[in-house]
Amino acid sequence: MLKNFRRIILILILVLLLPIFIFMQNQVVSFLSRAQVKKADLVIDTLTFEGQLSGDWLNFAQGGEEPPPMLNLASSRMKLLQPKYIRLDHIFDYYDVVKDDGSFDFSKLDATVENILNMGAKPFFSLSYMPRQFSRVQSVIEKPDTWSDWQLLVQRTIEHYSGRNNKNLTYVYYEVWNEPDLPQFGGFKLTGNKNYLELYKYSSNGANTASNVNKFFFGGPAVGSFYHNWVNDFVSYAEKNNLRLDFYSWHRYHPNPEKFSEDAKKIRKLLGKFPKFANLPLVLSEWGIDSENNKNSSNEKGAAHALATVFNINSLINLPFAFEIKDGPPPQGGQWGLMTHEKDKTPLFLKPRFKAFAASTFLTGNKLKVSGQGSFVTALAVKSNDDSIYVLVNNYDVSEKNWENVPLTVTGLTPGTYKIQKRQILTNTSSLAEIVSTDGLIKQQLLMLPNSIYLLEIKKSGNIAQLTSGVTNSATDYALVLTDNNDFKLEPFSFDLGVDNELRFDIKPFWTGGELNEVEILRFSLIRENSATIEVTLSKVKSNYIDFLLLQATDDKNSQSLAIPVINFKEGDWHKIRIGIAKDKMFIALDKTANERESQIYNSAIKISGINFYPLNGAIDNLEIIKEGTVFFTRDFN
């Protein structure tokens, strides 16, 4: 009796302690997994290109949340994302394409396609679902009574949108059905009476009979996830029966971004068994963080997940379609949208995921090598056509705990000054700084809070100044060298003028004058009381084998000029140039030689602005503006 009592007490103790043991085990597992976390130390190599990026991930799907028109009010906002393709399903049952008399009417679908075209995108049609008129049971997820009806519908759909005598669209995608494996969409199998392969065969026949059409793409099966047999058996059937198959498509929803790339690699490996289809384009025609209707697609976590997935799949999947564009009608509608529904309390509100995709539109150009990626913090970088560097940095953590102070180094730059704009995408804040890089490096620190996103824009704003000895030739006197592409701008710059004004500077040419027919030296603007502009230029020109300094002033009505011969203009010597600005005359002097003329071109000028010295292959020093005999502005380079 006593032994039994002790056993009962021991069992009770173990039962009570079991939750504690489980908790401790989970804590140990969590600690060990966190101990293996790799912190990011990002290095952007601007000299190593890894192909081109052109926003191929900017494709979006819209589900059947409501009858059309669904996209009309979303069109202008979606244009901001520069989408390539927009996917529609329910095109046959929601848009009343088939009439009771058997005729076809595409007018409702045309209106939504027009919305897509207004976004700057092209349509991607999911050929779904079955028109009720095609079966006695009038179900949109059952087979038709006669397959020829379905085949003709596919043919006419392609002829309507890709037909040269109809909508005349090029490169439209046609995908056979939507998630055929799921019960709510038909529960098709790859064998038996309700066989997707049969559905695909008659769809392919319809595509092949379409005539006078532009190039289009045709494929499937748009299954709800990755399944080995839906790749192997489906592609094998297409190959054996010589069916048209331009792409393989599937769907995936998962919080782990690596799952998407794992799917792509597995599918690509299976396709390798079929030489004809080994390089078949992969289309992920729906993807997201969660297939359940919850807030995960609407918050910062969903936004960071979107970019982490894009970074993961951009070189593996040809066309991914983020689901979806717009929420369904409240309160029961789906919440997967990039924006809320127009009937929401905050109508057509742009969610964090929209902002994340908007930031990714800057990633167009040469893809740059990025090293030092972390377990949570990852980045994608490009060099654009205008040589700007864009770096998108993302901190995705499904547990919403990870934060890091991330070092970011940009390498391979030419020495110079650079403007760096840092934007925190999800908080709508930004900062702008200008730094000098003498060694081709730029180093930054980014405080990455959980599920935060930064976009860095780096643009060269100028070269590092080259200096030489100034006019006095003393150890502390320097002048600015203007050669190659090095110019000097005082901009923005604005200075009030008086009645009698003068612009002075010293110039040392690295040429004698005779060997160069024309050299642009200086340009500045004068602003009149009525805001009209006078453009003034100074250049060295040659006429009848004689070198002159030519001063020209041009307004919206006329142009006047004044010249002075260049005498003793020796290479390496300093010379003083003076330009007079008065209401009744033009004046120019070179050293002790001067010239002037009566002129009203400067009349009513009240400001001087935008002084710009060109790369004149020489040096300048001691820039001054004199007003009424007093020096009011000076710039040396000491």
- Contact present, 391 and 44 (Cβ < 8 Å): yes
Please give the full DSSP string across 372-383, using - where no structure is assigned.
---SSEEEEEEE
Report the relative pairing of strands 59-62 and 319-323 from DSSP bridges.
parallel
Residue 233's nearest CA partner among 177, 176, 190, 278 is 190
Span 467-635 CATH architecture: Sandwich (2.60)
Q: Return all residues near 55 (Cβ < 8 A) that are at least 6 apart.
A: 82, 84, 360, 361, 363, 364
Q: What is the pLDDT of residue 2?
A: 46
Q: What is the pLDDT of residue 217?
A: 98
| Tens digit of each residue's pLDDT (9 = 90 or more) over 502-527 | 999 999 998 765 566 789 999 999 99
**Cα–Cα distance, 332 to 335 (Å, whole number):** 9
pTM, two decimal places: 0.78
- Contact present, 121 and 85 (Cβ < 8 Å): yes
**Cα–Cα distance, 426 to 299 (Å, whole number):** 10
Q: Domain 364-462 adopts which CATH fold?
A: Immunoglobulin-like (2.60.40)
Helix 228-240 × helix 196-209 angle, to 10°: 40
Q: What is the pLDDT of residue 30?
A: 45
| Tens digit of each residue's pLDDT (9 = 90 or more) over 22-36 | 555 554 444 434 458
- Nearest-Å Rg of the Cα atoms of the chain is 35
Please give the full DSSP string across 248-295, using - where no structure is assigned.
EEEEEE-S-THHHHHHHHHHHHHHTTSGGGTTPPEEEEEEES-SSSSG
Matching residue, tokens 């700007």: 388
**Cα–Cα distance, 95 to 98 (Å, whole number):** 9
Number of Cβ within a 10 Å radius of residue 461: 12
**Cα–Cα distance, 478 to 470 (Å, whole number):** 4
Q: What is the pLDDT of residue 5?
A: 53
The domain limits of the chain are 56-360, 364-462, 467-635
Please identify every stretch of the chain with a pLDDT value under 70, giving residue numbers as ranges.
1-35, 512-516
Residue 259 has φ and ψ, to the nearest 5°, of -60, -35
Judge if 56-360 and 364-462 fold alike in CATH terms: no
- Contact present, 88 and 62 (Cβ < 8 Å): yes
Instruction: Quote the Cα angle for 452-458-460, to 5°.
Output: 170
Matching residue, tokens 């069109």: 75
401 in helix, strand or coil? Answer: coil
CATH homologous superfamily of 56-360: Glycosidases (3.20.20.80)
